[in-house]
Amino acid sequence: MGVQFDLRWISLLLLPIVLVSLRPQFSPFYSARNKKWWTWYLAVVTFIVFFFFAADFGSFSYNQTRLDAGAMNFVEDPGISLRMMWQTYPLFWMVLGLVVSVIIFRWMYHKSHWRVITQTDGLKIPYRRKYFVITALILGALVYGKLSTRPLAWKECFVFQDNFKSYLALNPLQNFFTTLKLRKPEFNEQKARESFPIMAKWMQLPDAGKFGYKRVVAPQGSAIESNPNIVLVMCESFSMYKSSMSGNPLNTTPFFDSISNQGIFFERCFTPHFSTARGLFALITGIPDAQLFKFSTRNPLAIRQNTIIDNFTGYSKHYFLGGDPDFNNFKGLLENIDDLKMHTEQDFSSPRINVWGISDKDLFLEANKVFRQQDSSFFAVIQTSLNHRPYMIPESDSDFVKKFPSESELHRYGFESVEEYNTFRYSDYSFRKFIEAAQQEDYFHNTIFVFCR
C-alpha cells in the first residue's frame, strides 16, 4: 500500500515533464535552456518532497501521528511554534542538511543530463513522441493507483486492523493534502436531532422524551451553600499510564498519588485525543472538541459557548498560564467567562525558562500569591504547560533531584527519553510545592482543588 502511494506521487512529479515534452521544443534535451529549467524544477520538487518527509518525521516524533492537516494549527501561531522547534530540535542543522541535500540532488540531475548527451557523442537524441505517450499513460495509471473502477483512496490505508501497518502505509504528501479539506468545520443539526434519542438513551438522560433536543437544567436546592473557592488545575500532558496511580514501577508521581488517595479519584476520566486546545475547550465548556484537523478554539462557529463558571455568582474569576494565551486562541475561548482576570507571562515576576513561559512551580506560587489576597470567594483555572518538549527544568530548583533509569526501563514504562521522564516527575514536584504553599494560607480550608489530567 505504501509503495502504491509513493509511486503515485513520483508519477505526479514526473508527469509535467513528460506531458510538456509532447511538444519537442519543450523537451529537456531540446536546448541548454530547457535543461536548466527542468533541472531546477526537479530540484524544487525534491526540496518539497524532502521537506514533507522531514516534517512527517518531526510530527511523529512530537505527536506520535503522521503528518496531516492538523499541522496547520501550529502555522497559525508561527512565532511560538518556531521558538518551540528551535528550543527542541537542532533546527539550524536540520534546515542546512535539507538545503545541502537538495543542492547535491540538483548536481546529480545536472550530471546525469550531461552524461546522456556525452554517451550520444553530443548528438541530439532522436525524438519519438510515441514513447512520451506510452510513458504518460504508465505514469497516469500509477497516479490512478490500482486496477479498479475507483482510484486508490487515502482511506484505504486504514483497512488494516493494525495501527502500525496503517501508519507505515501513509505517504506524508497524500496524507497532508487529503486531510487539508477536512479542516473546514461541518455540522448538520437535522442529523443531530435525529440521533438525539439514541444518544439520550445511551447517556441515560432522564425525561429525554419530555425535554427533547433542547434541555434546560436548573440548579438544585442542594447546591453548595458555603461558597467554597474552586481551583481547577489543568494538568497538561499528564498521562495516566506514566503516573504512579496506574501502578507504573518508575513511581513518577508519588505526591499526586497520595492526594488522589486522600481525595476523590475519578479513575474512568480519560482524554481520547491529543492537543491542549482540545482539552481546554472540553474542560471549560463541558463539550468535547470533535473536530479532527482544526481546534474548536479556532472555529468562530464553536468558540462562543456558555460555561458553568459564569454560574458562580459573587465569585471573582481568574485564569493562570505561564505563557502566551494567544497560542491556539486560548484567550478567545476564555473570553466567554464574564469578568475573568487573566494572569499570564507578562504579569509575573518569575523568569521565563522557555517558549512556554515560566515554570509550572513558579506558576503555582504566583497563583498562590493572588489567592491569599482575595477577600471573597474565587474560581481559578490554572493551566500548566511545561510537561512537554523542549523538556526544561529550572536550574534554580536545586531541591528537585533528577533520576536516570536505563533506556530499556524508560521505553518499557512509557517514556521516550530521560528528559521527558524527569519533566513528568517535575510536574509532581510542582503540585507538591503548590499544595504545601496553599496549606499555609487561610483560603486553603475553604477551597476545593480539582486536578484534571
Residue 222 has pLDDT above 60, yes or no: no
**Low-confidence winner among 10-19, 190-199, 221-230, 326-335 (lowest mean pLDDT):** 221-230
Where exactly are the structural domains of the chain? 2-183, 226-452
pLDDT score at 121: 59
The stretch 260-274 carries a mean pLDDT of: 83
Assigned CATH topology for domain 226-452: Alkaline Phosphatase, subunit A (3.40.720)
- Determine the pLDDT at residue 161: 80
The average pLDDT across 306-322 equals: 91
Contacts 24+ apart (CB under 8 A), 100-107: 101/50, 102/43, 102/46, 102/47, 102/50, 103/43, 105/42, 105/43, 105/46, 106/39, 106/40, 106/42, 106/43, 106/46
- Is 305:287 a contact under the CB 8 Å cutoff? yes
Give the pairing of strands 316-321 and 378-383: parallel
pLDDT(363) > 90: yes
Per the model's pLDDT, the better-predicted residue between 31 and 436 turns out to be: 436
| Residue 90: cis peptide before it, omega within 30 degrees of 0 | no
pLDDT tier, 208 (very low <50, low <70, confident <90, very high otherwise): low
- Structure-derived torsion over alpha carbons of residues 7, 8, 11, 13, reported in degrees to the nearest 10: -110
3-class secondary structure, 65: coil
User: Phi and psi for 213 in degrees, rounded to 5?
Assistant: -65, -35
**pLDDT, position 124:** 62
Mean pLDDT in residue range 18-46: 84
Residues 6+ apart with CB under 8 A from 176: 52, 67, 68, 69, 71
pLDDT at 348: 93
- Give 188 or 359, the one with higher predicted confidence: 359
Q: Tell me what pLDDT residue 372 has.
A: 94
Q: What is the mean pLDDT of the chain?
A: 86
> Is the Cβ–Cβ distance between 170 and 6 less than 8 Å?
no
| Mean pLDDT lowest among 5-19, 207-221, 275-289 | 207-221
Asked if pLDDT for residue 47 goes beyond 80, the answer is: yes
> Is the pLDDT score of 209 beyond 70?
no
With a CB cutoff of 8 Å and minimum separation 6, the contacts of 20 are 26
Angstrom distance (rounded) from CA 420 to CA 390:
9
Given this model, what pLDDT does residue 268 score?
79
Q: Are 323 and 385 in contact (CB under 8 A)?
A: yes
Strand pairing class (340-343; 378-383): unpaired
> How confident is the model over 381-428, as pLDDT tens digits?
999 998 888 888 999 999 999 999 999 999 999 998 999 999 999 999
pLDDT over 90 at 365, yes or no: yes
Phi, psi of 111, rounded to the nearest 5 degrees = -65, -40
| pLDDT of 76 strictly over 80 | no
How confident is the model at residue 393, as a pLDDT?
A: 92
pLDDT of amino acid 210: 66
- Which residues are CB-neighbours of 40 under 8 A, at least 6 positions away? 106
If one compares 139 and 219, the residue with the highest pLDDT of the two is 139
Q: What is the mean pLDDT of residues 163-185?
A: 85
Split at pLDDT 50, 70, 90, the class of 126 is low
Q: Kindly report the pTM of this predicted structure.
A: 0.75
